[in-house]
Structure 1
Amino acid sequence: MNKIVVAILSVVGFSSSLVFPYYVLFLRNIGDSYDVFSLLYGLFSLSLSIVVYFGGKFFERFSPYLLMMLHSFFCSYIFFSLHTIENIKIVYIGQVLFGGFTALFKLAEKRLFMNATSEFYRSYLFWTSFVTAICIIGVGVLFDSIDIRFMFNIAALLFLLSGFGLGAKFILRSNKDDKN
């Protein structure tokens, strides 16, 4: 575990925080009613809980870097293609997949920090929370001068970069394990 991982995961947190409030508005607008919005948000939570509960032991076989990388690439894909989605059924499927990939990230994060020192974990929580807060405040201040599509594209690009960073960490870790 090192500072590079904390930096990469801070980028993931930054990207998520950048778009989360506006993604919720997207869901609300595409749902066009509170029952559809509730269903969309519930599908995310339901799929997250199912993957965590039933897939937890299965996913322990995989590197946490690989699982986090899959989450980052999926989020990048979703946010790059968000402006093209017009069918509510696609959004339903996307919410189920989004919940599942978020579960992978949460499972991987737990495994990654299982053996970390409490000082390192506190540092991780501080920096990811700090970056998230700065992002939320910054976006609120800049919101009138930036386009929402631009913001989703920036988040998608950051998720893509974090996915490549996690992929590099996964490959380096795999090569190190193969030598031992």
Structure 2
Amino acid sequence: MNYRRFIIYQGTVGMAASMIFPFYVLLLKNAGGSYSQFGWAYGLFALTAALSYSVIGKFADNAGDNALLVVYSWGMALVLIAFPLAYEIWHVYVLQIVMGLLGAVQKNSEKTVLARSVKKETAGKEIGRYHIWTSIGAAIAVIATGYLVDFLTIGSIFYLASIVFAWSGFYIMKRDTSES
């Protein structure tokens, strides 16, 4: 496992996720009209993730981290294409359930790759460096997306983030085949 390429991949998906998560509340205004609906949407996301971790963890050991990272990237790319088309709150709820499952795949895979990649003796330092770069990418994405929303429509950032997720899927697939 190439640790540097993993950091690039995680930085990329972190940027793509950061492009949409702070702003999708604005998009929800079109599908729902209350904070309770937003609470339900985010709650379904979190609950789905929580209930799926143990299954995903068992599956990860058999399927492999790279396969799950590809599933996450391509799954998110497809979900984000559908998000701007959601005009009923139940559409958002379904998308949140799918995103909760994908989020659990990502979080579990991220941790297993880190656990398998870093040396025990320097794990804190390496994981700290990992978080620096992925957090910087996320911060830049949030700031830049704020400007993009001013010039584009709110829906367009979902399409842009979808493209970034799709690219990350290609990137991890390339890594998977080139390092086998």
For this structure pair, what is the TM-score category when the shorter chain's length is used for normalisation? 0.7 to 0.9
Unaligned runs of 5+ in 2: none
CA gap of 1:92–1:143, structure 2 versus 1, over 3 A, is closer
The question of whether the paired residues in 1 share the 8 Å contact of 2:53 and 2:104 is answered with yes
Shift of 1:83: 2.1
The question of whether the paired residues in 2 share the 8 Å contact of 1:76 and 1:156 is answered with yes
Q: Which residue of 2 aligns with 1:123?
A: 129
Moved over 6 A (4+): none
1:165 to 150, 171, 177: 171
In 2, distance between residues paired with 1:132 and 1:48?
21
Secondary structure of residue in 2 paired with 1:32: coil
Farther off after superposition, 89-98 or 158-167: 89-98
Cα displacement string for residues 6-48 of structure 1 (whole angstroms, at most 9, x for unaligned residues): 1121110000111111123323542212222211111000000
Letter in 2 for 1:16: A
Unaligned runs of 5+ in 1: none
In 2, distance between residues paired with 1:28 and 1:52?
30
Q: How does 1:51-130 map to 2 (within 5 A)?
A: 51-115=52-116, 116-117=118-119, 118=123, 119-130=125-136
Shift of 1:142: 4.2
Give % identity: 29
Cα displacement string for residues 37-62 of structure 1 (whole angstroms, at most 9, x for unaligned residues): 21111100000000113442233212
Farther off after superposition, 91-100 or 102-111: 91-100
Secondary structure of residue in 1 paired with 2:16: helix
Name the count of aligned residue pairs.
174
CA gap of 1:55–1:86, structure 2 versus 1, over 3 A, is same
Farther off after superposition, 146-155 or 26-35: 26-35
Shift of 1:137: 1.9
2:161 to 144, 155, 161: 155
Letter in 2 for 1:123: R
In 1, distance between residues paired with 2:176 and 2:83?
28
In 2, distance between residues paired with 1:44 and 1:107?
15
Q: Which residue of 2 aligns with 1:133?
A: 139
Shift of 1:141: 3.8
In 2, distance between residues paired with 1:146 and 1:27?
17
The question of whether the paired residues in 1 share the 8 Å contact of 2:72 and 2:106 is answered with yes
Q: How much is the aligned-residue C-alpha RMSD, in angstroms?
A: 1.8
The question of whether the paired residues in 2 share the 8 Å contact of 1:27 and 1:40 is answered with no
The question of whether the paired residues in 1 share the 8 Å contact of 2:49 and 2:104 is answered with yes
User: Could you state the TM-score of these two structures normalised by the residue count of structure 1?
Assistant: 0.87
